[in-house]
Amino acid sequence: MNTMHDLLLETARHLLQEPVAILYNMPADARLLAHAQRSIKGIAVINMSPLIAGDDLATYIFLHECAHLKLQRFKHLPVKERPTMPDKGTGYKREIYQKHENEADTLARHWLSWGRLHNKDGSLSQMEAVCTALLEYPIDDTKGMK
Ligand SMILES: [Zn+2]
């Protein structure tokens, strides 16, 4: 494991049990700090905005996007089509959007606290500590929850 990027790739691959690509492109909308998508070939892709400030926030956002890929189905789209801020819509569409956000938040918080609890090295940054611990996260078929 050489760089933080390598560690994020390994962590995402372990949590999702599939290869994941991580990009660091500027978002179409600066408010959209990260997003998850599936490429035309169905490859899981996470984009982390270079504008994300802070280790704690970056760690949480990374896990939140992993959780979306773990929990929800995505249309296969060209990666170059960068999403704008999601349209939350109204009524049913808004409910689904909120449900997916809540599910991703719940799983991200679970992974985060598991990672903190199992961190063995107090000298690491939060992202390094949590991700390194999560490489040992027990994987089962209960949608990421343990
Ligand atoms: Zn989300």
Per-domain boundaries in the chain? 4-134
Residue 74 has pLDDT above 60, yes or no: yes
Q: 4-134 has which CATH code?
A: 3.30.2010
Question: Ligand 1 centre and the CA of 68: distance in Å?
Answer: 7
> 101 C-alpha to center of ligand 1: Å?
5
CA–centroid distance, residue 129 to ligand 1 (Å): 23
CA distance 61 to 55: 10
Q: 3-state class of 33 per DSSP?
A: coil
Predicted local confidence at residue 80, as pLDDT: 80
**What is the per-residue pLDDT for 144?**
56
Asked if residue 12 lies in contact with residue 20, where contact means CB atoms within 8 angstroms, the answer is yes
Question: Distances from the Cα of 120 to the Cαs of 34, 85, 116, 123, 128, in angstroms?
Answer: 28, 37, 9, 9, 11
Centre of ligand 1 to C-alpha 63, Å, is 10
Q: At what angle do helices 91-117 and 126-134 cross, to 10 degrees?
A: 90
Distance 113 CA to ligand 1 centre (A): 18
Cα of 136 vs centre of ligand 1, distance in Å, is 24
What does the pLDDT read at residue 58? 96
Mean pLDDT (the chain, rounded): 91
Q: How far is the CA of 67 from the centre of ligand 1 (A)?
A: 8
Kindly state the average pLDDT of the residues 17-24: 96
